[in-house]
Structure 1
Amino acid sequence: MIKNNTNVKTGKQSSKKNEVGQIRVIGGKWRGRKLPVVSEEGLRPTGDRMKETLFNWLMHDLTDANCLDLFAGSGALGFEAASRYAGSVTFIEKSKIAAITIKENIAKLSANNLIIFQMDALEYLNQKPSKPFDIIFIDPPFRKGLLGEVLIKLTAHSFAQKGSRIYIETEREAIIEDIPNDWFLIKEKNTGQVCHRLFEHG
């Protein structure tokens, strides 16, 4: 069971002074809404064009889905999923500033089916979830060697189940190891120096 003692508290200090831009929700009930993002090293929200492609891939899987946005950063993927009628989204983000901004954006949207935990993604994956996730977004910092351990922990603690979709975003030259034998690549696309892959848990 995931412990609930790491939920973000906004506190008195606003993150507004750290804002450098916005993300835009491109589909669903919040279509056109713009949400602030903060300046953090390694933060690179998925661009609108690729986001549209990804959510076209997932269009038949989103309604009422239980989603996990690991290494959430700006929260762009999780907010897009929620806008398209996902049942719930859990955001995991290590950066305090980025996590506070996600929490503030959840409040702006009055979205009580979204929750943010400020914690390390690998630490989160050490614990068994209360139930498996239907859709998992994995977008770790590039060139940090984190993905292999993420995949091992996801499998060891049953974060996915048969039929789950797992989206992985990496640097284009990355070689993905430790893909579980029962995951099948169903979509793949390169945009610039980034590779986007969607797997199905078989």
Structure 2
Amino acid sequence: MANPRPKGHNGLGQLRIIGGEWGSRRLTFPDAPGLRPTPDRVRETLFNWLATHIEGARVLDVFTGSGALYLEALSRGAGMALALDNNAEALASLRRNLDMLGCTVGQVSHTDSLRYLETQTPAQFDLVFLDPPFHQNLLPAACALLEARQWLAESAWIYTESEISPSSVGLPGNWRLHREKKAGQVYYALWQRSAEVTA
């Protein structure tokens, strides 16, 4: 991967929470294939963009992996957050981290993320993180399900991380690009939903 995983001990990866209540805390996660936490510099940029939108927000992390974005949002005052992933080992580690941090508003679900979005009763979220495993074409399907099944609050913010420019993915027409950058081979972007579809 373009972004090497920081190494912890005993084959574990390590991530650092940047800001908020748990700022500078270092946590471990399984060093498994495909788990690549969003790099510190990218996370810092993203949460600077979101600075006035985190407090009290309802957050959904669709492909949580190591939980780096999810934990950062909770550290910075999200009202609640739900993490989805199909990697049981990663989610067990994330649950342990939540327990260690004394977090009571973080929920974790071991599931196929797309199937969850397709079949579960939707709740509306203010902020959604979409950082799926690369080269599996998961991003367009996840975006379509979020919009079609009404998982998004009227003016929700959506963060995407992808191996190709997100503007070429074909995202819902009512998502307005707020910011986009590239770090190494990774494109990351922040979108805001509008209730009205634009032509």
**TM surpasses 0.5:** yes
- Matching residue of 1:12: none
Q: Write the mapping of 1:108-123 to structure 2, written as runs, cut at 5 A.
A: 108-123=100-115
**Partner SS for 1:115:** strand
- Matching residue of 1:73: 65
> Which of 120, 128, 133 is equivalent to 1:141?
133
* C-alpha distance in structure 2 between counterparts of 1:31 and 1:81, whole Å: 11
* C-alpha distance in structure 1 between counterparts of 2:55 and 2:174, whole Å: 24
After superposition, the C-alpha distances for 1:67-99 in whole angstroms (9 at most, x for unaligned) are 001110000000000000000110001111101
> Which of 20, 24, 27 is equivalent to 1:32?
24
AA partner of residue 191 (structure 1): A
Q: Write the mapping of 1:1-202 to structure 2, written as runs, cut at 5 A.
A: 19-172=11-164, 176-202=168-194
Q: Which runs of 5+ in 2 are unaligned?
A: 1-7, 195-199
The answer on whether the counterparts of 2:160 and 2:166 sit within 8 Å (CA) in structure 1 is: no
The answer on whether the counterparts of 1:139 and 1:169 sit within 8 Å (CA) in structure 2 is: yes
The answer on whether the counterparts of 1:151 and 1:178 sit within 8 Å (CA) in structure 2 is: no
Q: Which runs of 5+ in 1 are unaligned?
A: 1-15
**Partner SS for 1:180:** coil
**Partner SS for 2:55:** coil
The answer on whether the counterparts of 1:18 and 1:39 sit within 8 Å (CA) in structure 2 is: no
1:176/1:103 CA distance change after superposition, 3 Å: farther
- Residue 128 of structure 1 deviates from its aligned partner by 4.8
**Partner SS for 2:73:** helix
What root-mean-square deviation, in Å, do the aligned CA atoms of Structure 1 and Structure 2 show?
1.7
* C-alpha distance in structure 1 between counterparts of 2:52 and 2:64, whole Å: 23
Q: How much identity, in percent, do the aligned residues show?
A: 37
The answer on whether the counterparts of 1:71 and 1:121 sit within 8 Å (CA) in structure 2 is: yes
* C-alpha distance in structure 1 between counterparts of 2:69 and 2:189, whole Å: 14
The answer on whether the counterparts of 2:132 and 2:138 sit within 8 Å (CA) in structure 1 is: yes
TM-score, length-scaled by structure 2:
0.89
- Residue 131 of structure 1 deviates from its aligned partner by 2.5
**Partner SS for 1:62:** coil
Which has the bigger relative contact order, CA under 8 A and spacing at least 6?
1
